Amino acid sequence: MSYVDGFVAAVPTANRQAFIEHARQAAMVFKEYGALKVVECWGDDVPEGEVTSFPMAVQRGPDETVVFSWLVWPSREVRNQAMPRLMEDARLSPEVHPMPFDGQRLIYGGFEMVVNE
């Protein structure tokens, strides 16, 4: 079954278009290395929580929007083979392709897909 990398970040709301352009460029590179699908979602209805929430998790500021993203890979093995090459690809380096958000507050993880209806 497929493997998914998931991400949550806080992006300055003023950087929406820069984020979209950044995501489109990065998606092309991820697909070259085997990703099947790249999905980037701009927060529209992301409530503050009292105990936990997306905004709390990424320490969202008042001028930021939460984004929720995921990459679908054919397998964990394909993803694991791609990651070292992706990290070395100059097209994704911060000097060439700066992230329009604070990467230190990016939350990410790999997930085994168990239901895909």
DSSP secondary structure of 49-66: PSS--HHHHTT--TTEEE
Separation of alpha carbons 76 and 81, rounded Å: 9
Q: Which domain holds residue 101?
A: 27-63+77-112
Number of domains in the chain: 1
Structure tokens at 81: 């083979």
pTM score above 0.85: yes
Q: Per the domain annotation, does 107 fall within a domain?
A: yes
Does a structural domain hold residue 82?
A: yes
H or E element in which residue 88 lies? helix 76-88
**CATH code at 34?**
3.30.70.100
Between the alpha carbon of residue 62 and those of residues 13, 14, 25, 59, the distances in Å are 9, 12, 27, 10
pLDDT digit string (tens) for 72-112? 999 999 999 999 999 999 999 888 888 899 989 999 999 99
Quick: pLDDT tens for 7-57: 999 999 999 999 999 999 999 999 999 999 999 999 999 999 999 999 999
Bridge partner residues of 7 (DSSP):
69, 108
